[in-house]
Chains A and B, each alone.
Chain A
Amino acid sequence: MQDRSLVSSLQTAVGRENVLTKKEDLICYSYDPTPNHHLPEAVVIPGNIDEVTQVMRLAYAAGVPVTPRGAGTNISGSSIPVQGGLVLAMHRFDRIIEIDTANLCAVVEAGVITAEFQSRVEALGLFYPPDPQALNMSTLGGNVATNAGGPRGFKYGVTRDYVLGFKMVLPDGRVLKVGGKTVKNVTGYDLTKLFVGSEGTLGVFTELTLRLIPLPESKRTMLAVFDDILAAARSVSAVIAAKIIPTTLEYMDQEAMRLIEAFAPSGLPVDSAAAVLIEVDGSERVVPFQIEQIGEVCRREGAREIRIALTEAEANQIWTARKAAFSSMARSAPTLYVEDVTVPRSKIPEMVKTISELAAKYQIKVPILGHTGDGNMHPIILTDERKPEEIGRVKQAIDEMFKAALAMGGTLSGEHGIGLDKVKYMEWELGTTGVDVMRRIKQALDPRNLMNPGKVLPTEAEE
């Protein structure tokens, strides 16, 4: 880092061992799962909120950008320090401060690993439903900053629905405290909704108060197999029309199933057009009837086959296949673009068709997974970042895909966030007014544009 006096002030603030400036160290904080990367000038690892405050004040005074980072598992580029400056690594904030069973909530530091928190609350018969794919690695702070969702989103909602309050350090170093343990809170503007999903552009979370619910008694799993995707889509709608809300409705297309079977054979019907993994949870008395009922609905709507898991082992087998999807894709190509374009549920067949047509047009491989309950599709583009010509085609296909989704009344991102790569589409969805409102909020809180710059909002020159 050029500014030696800033480095020494940072060292005083957080301890010499918690300021990293060697090239080897900077490289290790320059990337995330997207192909983007940029070296920071220093990595700072604070241990408490006072240290974060000091770091932010120092950085703000020096005009140095700050990029907060949880576990670096996002797939939007949001933790890459694209303008250099500091990476603020939050993993030392790893304490679960309190699990309050009387008020069904928990107070945690932002660096707690999602899965560790879930297993702690589940041991007490409680449930924290948000389940992003990276939950074994991701931090709760990162989940809140990106408003992460997951397969259970259809029934249980996303991270935002479980944030009751938080403590955050603002770009200028002031501490903002919002909400608390009460479920009801209409005091003033809803700042929780504003900051959740702000991707580190408005400040950095240090402490979270999270809502918990009782852990469902039991669950049942099935796989519905379809010869055409319209029947799959009809079935999903019919299940919901029958007033059953499954926990998950996970869609896998033929190409996804073929890849899974190639790398981790688990008996998926690769000759079918699509399969939907359906899980219901709830009371032990109700769940067995619901799963049967869903089976009947799917059959009526044209399912070729219904596989209801009778034992936990059978349920695990179905889930193992679905969970192998990502690794099978990762083994088949060196670079993955995992998108999360989301459309109204009724538009799923149309979106699937559009994606297949784009894959053919641009000669790229795009297996599709999706959370069909909430219209959140995951087209996964298999490519190689070292082939510029192919990447060019990939980017054109992505442009067209987003255009099509927006035309269907959809949105750019269901659960991953905007980060870097989707910044250029923001105005397509929000219009100039929408972008302008967001920009004014950003300017009010971060007038020097130092907090995770380059993310979420296009700079004025980019328009």
Chain B
Amino acid sequence: MSVRTRATTWSLGLSGLLLLVVVVSAGIGAVTIPPRTVAAILADAVPVPVGVSLGGATVLPLVGPVPTPTLEFVSPFAFSVPRPARIIVLSVRLPRILLAALVGFALATAGTVMQGFFRNPMADPSIVGVSSGAAVGAVATIVLSLSIPFGLEGAAFVSAVVTAFVVYLLASENGRTPVATLLLAGVAIQTFLGAVISFLLLQSGESLRQVVFWLMGHLAGATWSEVGMLALVLPLPFVVLLVHARDLNVLLLGEEDAHALGIEVERTKQLLLATASVVTAAAVSVSGVIGFVGLVVPHMLRLLVGPDHRVLLPASALAGASFLVATDTVARSGGAEIPVGVVTAAVGAPFFLYLLRTREVRSP
């Protein structure tokens, strides 16, 4: 079976799984809604463009009035669904579910790339300090009551990307960035930023609860605008990573070999690191630090589909989306809301240990 066929098969299968998980998850909550109803609501909500109407006119300078083309949408199905159920699914549950899917997608993507990049199955998306950086930005915004453009998420995103860049600069010398140095620089910066966060926590006063909640990783209160933001940011870096999947495969052989096989090693490393960091930062800035998704999911999928990133990357991303939707469903379906980071760690750690003991996790 060719690589392309395998990639397509796995992607389609896991997309189906994701859809299934979304539908089931949307039915779970204080009010239980049967999956059939959820499916009907979702099908109704999908707009289908049916034609273009040239209604109205826009007045352009020099040209004069020009008819504006407007897409006409029609909801092809008209299922009869109770209105409250429709509102619960579309306005309350769906933003959170889709945000979980996008965050899971992003973290698993970044985790897969980082594990390949570091040739180490224990690497995770925040290994170069992205999560700590985001946390400092977010906590500082909350504690110091800063008001900045794009608010909390903006601050978290910017400080995350800056942190990754600083770690990269610290680890680089003479145009080379040894992976081991990068790892150590990441650890050092994470420790330092941990101290900064602890200090800020001491100063936090009344906002302590909010800060802790953010730090634990959360998807509560997700809005459509957050979903839209992430949906806008993620596709480009993901495509870039997908295009470089073959280079990532060759990099797994070691940098010396990769060079001998015609890869511009340092340039490829820069690109992979920057892209994976942006993906992680985007996810972490809206959801806080959610652990284990980026570690366990790529690992699990590597056992299933093999190490070839052309298959692994999309498969891992889609599985990560399903995984986070499922765990977040658990997090919100209990009596009290639990931060989803707690659930992923509680589910992920034992599962990882199970893999470690039974499936012989391959270490470099």
Partners in one complex: no
